[in-house]
Structure 1
Amino acid sequence: MKLASLKHGRDGQLVVVSKDLSTYVSAADVAPTLQAALDTWADSEAKLKAIYDDLEAGKISGTAFDPVACDAPLPRAYHWVDGSAYVTHVELVRKARGADLPDSFWTDPLVYMGASDAFIGPRDDIEVQSEDWGIDMEAEVAVITDDVPAGTSVEKARDHIKLIGILNDVSLRNLIPGELAKQFGFYQSKPWTAFSPVFVTPDELGDAWDGTKVSLPLHVVLNGTTIGKPNAGVDMTFDFTQLINHVAKSRSLEAGTVIGSGTVSNKGSKEGSCCLAEVRCLETIADGKPTTPFMSFGDRVEIDMFDAQGQTIFGRIDQKVVQYTPE
């Protein structure tokens, strides 16, 4: 099953989308928004699936689906947790600046709580005031949960994963060092986060989903040139069940919690990067300095994931970097 939210108010209008992303039908009779559906998932899932099955069987006709009309599938969420599950990425970044990686990073997940009051759609512009801030993409996979009780085990965590998507977690790299120096986490360096046109139920991924992670390449293209296409199932030190177990250690998670994997990265692969910071780190290690610039106004970034037949699963994130001028 594939679900999207058309732009409508702050929380979007929930629709059910065909498998090939060509058509959609309204889900208003089941739930007005995705958050409302997740709040009653035990009841709404079967009803949404019935609509999806009828759409696929041709029993109901749909309207042409246009990703430009889409907001993020969950336009605003109560809880957004972003991890750094690919520790090889963290290791590389620290190596480039001559810093050691603490041993605990391999055994204890690294996560932070991000801004979730306004996610943006897959075709929305990346608005930034200054190129000097170091504009970078970060391609990730995310899961969306139902209600997760505090203390949920790794084994039981997989039962709480209800939807899966991909995202662009934009980072302003030149603002990060000053924020981390305060030892209180990211804030100004993490602006808008964009999501794929649709979220899908795990069964849509077939054998590429083992209940804990997605084993497919995540493609990142900048201005028509491939930056990387690492396999999201490789080098994921902490899978999604481990991330859920970690963040639910001392508190429950409400339905609609979004958990990101962090930048997907494959160690030792020429196509293993999903962000420019990692490309620059590799250049620094090899040549003593980076040569690839961060993104500029007018740049276009595309992020996508394909099934075994070469068909997009979540739809393409396709964004342009533009200058934002405060009123």
Structure 2
Amino acid sequence: MRIGRWLDPAGRVGEGFVIDDRVVPFPDGATVAEVLESGLAAAHALRARAVSGGSALAAVRLLAPLWPASIRDFVAFEEHVEGVTASIDGAGGVVPEWYEAPTFYFTNPHTVLGPDEPVAPPVCDRLDFELELAVVLGGAPDADGRNLTREESADRIFGYTIMNDWSARDLQAREMKVRLGPAKGKDFGTSLGPWIVTADELAPRLDADGFLALRAEVFVNDVPIGEDLVSNMGWPFPELIAYASRNSRVVAGDVLGSGTVGNGGCLAELWGRNGGLTPPPLREGDEVRMTIDGIGTLTGTVGAAVAAPPVAPARSRSRARH
């Protein structure tokens, strides 16, 4: 099944199933958030009740397929880490700590963009994309989402979507020197779409170790930039979910990104490998098109940069205690 959200010609938001070349609203006026909370089995029952008809897919504008409860973005591809590290220090390599546990950061669920929706980046010199597969969590009545096992985590996977983690690399580099972040180098925009493909659709693509054998590709202005297999992740998705739930909680509607695929899944990796800004950073008007087997295509364009109010530097204070 494919589940999505859309805007019809009258400006009304629809939520439901994408069936072949049509969009069909959920029965009873259900929302994507409610369907995710109910879980995958309930979604299949709802699909059996979905009436035929709806609207032509070509007549509506697809929106982000959900408003995430939260977004965790992992860094699960060793090759990506090698290349991006080289863009920072010229040497590359992967620190031993990367292998010990999957690392992630939280980004902003309030700046999510849909298919073909332009990103409005901050003023920066090194705008980049990141090609990722994201997992969308659903509800499960047998656990509250805390300290999940790998098996419990697998049962929480409702489906998958493509994720573009837009990145201002020069802003990110400054933040990371303070040993915290990324923050403003990332939180201005995350594209999701074109829809959610339910987990059962991709189950035949799981290998013996639980990795998804899907091909991922990215193009800038129709020029191929990178391609990789999602199965080159260091950890399968259930282990990422289990780690996210450690001494914490995951809920329906959470989105967990795989992190950037290797072999050109972002420009920064190639800058590290090429020893310079080749290919060049993104500029206004550039189109970034991402395709993942079994999911579809997510396209985004770069809009005009937005100059935010200036930031005052830290004040020098006396450090008096009394």
Bin for the TM-score computed over the shorter chain: 0.7 to 0.9
Match of 2:150 in 1: 154
In the TM superposition, residue 206 of structure 1 has moved relative to its aligned partner by 4.8
Determine the C-alpha separation between the residues in 1 that align with 2:159 and 2:307: 36
Match of 2:4 in 1: 4
Matched residue type, 2:220: L
Using the size of structure 1 for normalisation, the TM-score is: 0.84
2:97 is equivalent to residue 104 of structure 1: yes
Contact 2:217–2:290 (Cα < 8 Å) also in 1: yes
Determine the C-alpha separation between the residues in 1 that align with 2:83 and 2:198: 33
Q: What 5-or-longer segments of structure 1 have no aligned partner?
A: 55-59, 266-271, 307-312
Determine the C-alpha separation between the residues in 2 that align with 1:277 and 1:72: 26
The structure-2 alpha-carbon separation of the partners of 1:99 and 1:316, relative to structure 1 and needing over 3 Å to count, comes to: closer
Higher strand share: 2
User: Given the alignment, which residue of 218, 225, 228 partners 1:227?
Assistant: 225
User: Given the alignment, which residue of 68, 71, 77 partners 1:77?
Assistant: 68
Contact 1:120–1:192 (Cα < 8 Å) also in 2: yes
In structure 2, the residue corresponding to 1:14 is in which secondary structure? strand
Identity rate, percent: 27
Matched residue type, 2:17: V
Matched residue type, 2:16: V
| Higher gyration radius (CA) | 2
Contact 1:14–1:28 (Cα < 8 Å) also in 2: no
Match of 1:173 in 2: 169
User: Given the alignment, which residue of 104, 115, 133 partners 2:108?
Assistant: 115
Match of 2:54 in 1: 62
Determine the C-alpha separation between the residues in 1 that align with 2:39 and 2:65: 15
Within 5 Å, which residues of 2 pair with 1:186-197?
Answer: 186-190=182-186, 191-197=188-194
Match of 2:287 in 1: 300
- Per-residue CA deviation, residues 9-28 of structure 1 (Å, 9 max, x unaligned), is xx95312011x4x1111115
In structure 2, the residue corresponding to 1:221 is in which secondary structure? strand
Matched residue type, 1:65: L
In the TM superposition, residue 118 of structure 1 has moved relative to its aligned partner by 3.3
The structure-2 alpha-carbon separation of the partners of 1:82 and 1:67, relative to structure 1 and needing over 3 Å to count, comes to: farther
Determine the C-alpha separation between the residues in 2 that align with 1:166 and 1:68: 20
- Per-residue CA deviation, residues 295-318 of structure 1 (Å, 9 max, x unaligned), is 111111101123xxxxxx433212
Determine the C-alpha separation between the residues in 2 that align with 1:13 and 1:182: 43
The structure-2 alpha-carbon separation of the partners of 1:129 and 1:251, relative to structure 1 and needing over 3 Å to count, comes to: closer
Contact 1:83–1:110 (Cα < 8 Å) also in 2: yes
Match of 1:136 in 2: 128
Match of 1:209 in 2: 206
Determine the C-alpha separation between the residues in 2 that align with 1:26 and 1:39: 17
Q: How many residues are matched?
A: 297
Contact 2:7–2:60 (Cα < 8 Å) also in 1: no
Contact 1:73–1:198 (Cα < 8 Å) also in 2: yes
Match of 2:26 in 1: 27
Determine the C-alpha separation between the residues in 1 that align with 2:42 and 2:16: 13
Using the size of structure 2 for normalisation, the TM-score is: 0.85
